[in-house]
Amino acid sequence: MGTGNPYPDQTSANSATPWLRGGPPVNVDLDGLREYARLLASQQADIAARSGHLAPLSEMPAGAFDGDVLGEADAIRAGLMANAAELSTYLGKLAESLGNVANAARTIAESYRTGDAVSAASLNDVLFAFGDKDAPRPAGLPENLGTTYLEQQLSGTAAPPPANSATWQEGPVTPVSAYQSLQTSIGPNGERREVSTVIAPGGVTTATTRVFDRNGETVTSSVTRTSSRTDGPVRATTVETFGADGELTATTETRERYEGTTVTERTTETVDAEGRTTALTTEKVDPATLGSTTSTYRPGDGGLLEETNRVTTGPRTPGPVVNG
C-alpha cells in the first residue's frame, strides 16, 4: 500500500503558480520582439532543411542488413533505425517548438503594433499568445490574427498543404491518352491536388501540378519539365520549374558519370531564375571499393557556397557467393 506525501507544505510551495494569475506589466520592445520571432522562424526553417541530411542514418542500416541476416544483425538494424527515428522525431518537435514561440512573439508584437515602440503587455496577453483559452483576446490584436491552426481548419480558412507535403492521400494514376495521365490526391481538409503528366514522344516529361482549396478555388499552380541527354559516359537530367505565370523559377540538373554500369560521380545543382546556385550536391564513388563521399553545399551569408553536410561511406563488404 502506498504512503501519502510526507512533504505537503513543500510540494504546495514548489508547485504553486500565483504568477499565472497576473502581475505587474511587462515591458515589450516591439522591434526586438519582431526580430526575435524572425530569428526563431529562421532557426525552425534551418532545422527542417538540415534534418534531410540525416536520412542516411535510417537508410544505411536498412541497406546494410537487408534480406536474410543473423538475429544479432537484425537487432542491430532495428536499434540503429529506432535511434534514427527518435532523433528525427526530436528535431521535428524542436522545430515545431521554435515555430510556436516565434508565432507567440509575433502575436504579442502585433497586439501592440499601433502603440508606442515600447508598450506594456500583461501576462494575459502572453498566455493568449501561447494558446490559453481562458486568457482574454488582446484588444489591439487584428481580427485576422490569433486563431490556432485547428480553428482555421474547422472554419475552412486553413491554407492547403504544400504540393509536396506528405499529408496528401495519393489517389490512383488514371490514363487520359497514350501520352497523358492524371493523378488526383485529397488533402487533410478536403483540398484537392491534381498532377497531369504528359510524356512526349521525344522523351520530355511535363508535369502540371494544381492545388485547390476545399471550395474548389485554385491556390497554387506549377509546371515541371524534365529532359535527359547522354554524352558518352555522362548522362544529364534537367528539371525546369515554372510558376503559374509561366516564368522559369528554378532549374535542377543532375549529371552522372558511368564506368560500365557503376555511377562514379553524381552532381546535382539547383539554380534560381537569376542563375544563382541555391543548392549543390556532389557524390564521388570509388569504382573499386564502391565507397563514396557525398557533400552538400548551400549559399552562406556572403552568397558563396559553403559545405553544410558530408557523408562518407566505406568500402562495401562482399556479399554471399551463390552457386548457380
List, for residues 88-145, the tens digit of each pLDDT value.
Answer: 899 989 988 888 888 878 777 777 665 544 445 566 666 676 666 777 777 666 665 6
Per-residue pLDDT band for 232 (boundaries 50, 70, 90) equals very high
Distance CA 225, CA 253 (A): 12
Residues ≥6 apart with Cβ < 8 Å to 255 = 234, 235, 236, 265, 266, 267, 268
What's the Cα-to-Cα distance from 133 to each of 141, 144, 148, rounded to whole Å? 15, 17, 11
Q: Which three cell numbers stand for residue 241?
A: 520549374
Q: What is the pLDDT of residue 102?
A: 85
Distance CA 139, CA 113 (A): 11
Which residue reads 490512383 in cell numbers? 172
Q: Are 30 and 109 in contact (CB under 8 A)?
A: yes
Helix (H, G, I), strand (E, B) or coil at 18: helix
Highest mean pLDDT among 7-11, 222-226, 304-308: 222-226
Taking the whole predicted model, whether its pTM rises above 0.75 is answered as: no
Distance CA 118, CA 50 (A): 36
